[in-house]
């Protein structure tokens, strides 16, 4: 959690230009791919995460959390949650 509004703005607008660690950038790249098309994830994607310092447990946790958020957002969208 951060109170740095400039950092949050950079993340929201384009995380590619935000001041992130290599591990955070690798994680966000992976999460983006999970969100866009998880069927294209393969061993090379997991190798990038390992090279950034994540172990199998970390990769599983990243995958589960990203997938859960994608799932719950789709459920909320389908049910109209948050719409006026």
CATH number of the domain residue 54 falls in: 1.20.1290.10
Distances (CA, A) of 17 to 10, 42, 49: 7, 26, 19
- Structural domain span for residue 39: 20-79
Q: Is residue 59 part of a domain?
A: yes
The answer to whether residue 37 sits within a structural domain is: yes
pLDDT of 69 higher than 80: yes
Give the pLDDT confidence score for residue 3 in this predicted structure.
Answer: 75
How deeply is 63 buried, as exposed, middle or buried, from its count of CB atoms within 10 A (0-12, 13-18, 19+)? Answer: middle
Q: What is the pLDDT of residues 2-58, one digit of tens each?
A: 678 888 888 888 888 888 999 999 999 999 999 999 999 999 999 999 999 999 999
Question: Count of domains in the chain?
Answer: 1
Say what the pTM is: 0.84
Spatial separation of the C-alpha atoms in residues 84 and 44, rounded to whole Å: 43
Which pLDDT score, from 0 to 100, does residue 19 have? 86
In a domain, 15, yes or no: no
Tokens coding 69: 């958020």
Residue 26 tokens read as: 């690798």
pLDDT at 1: 63
What distance in Å separates the CA atoms of residue 50 and residue 30, rounded to the nearest whole number?
Answer: 12
């Amino acid at each position: 959690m951060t109170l740095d509004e400039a950092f949050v703005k950079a993340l929201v607008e384009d995380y590619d230009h935000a001041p992130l660690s290599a591990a955070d950038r690798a994680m966000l790249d992976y999460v983006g791919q999970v969100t866009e098309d998880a069927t294209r994830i393969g061993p090379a994607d997991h190798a990038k995460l390992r090279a950034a310092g994540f172990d199998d447990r970390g990769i599983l946790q990243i995958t589960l959390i990203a997938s859960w958020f994608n799932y719950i957002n789709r459920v909320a969208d389908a049910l109209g949650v948050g719409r006026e």
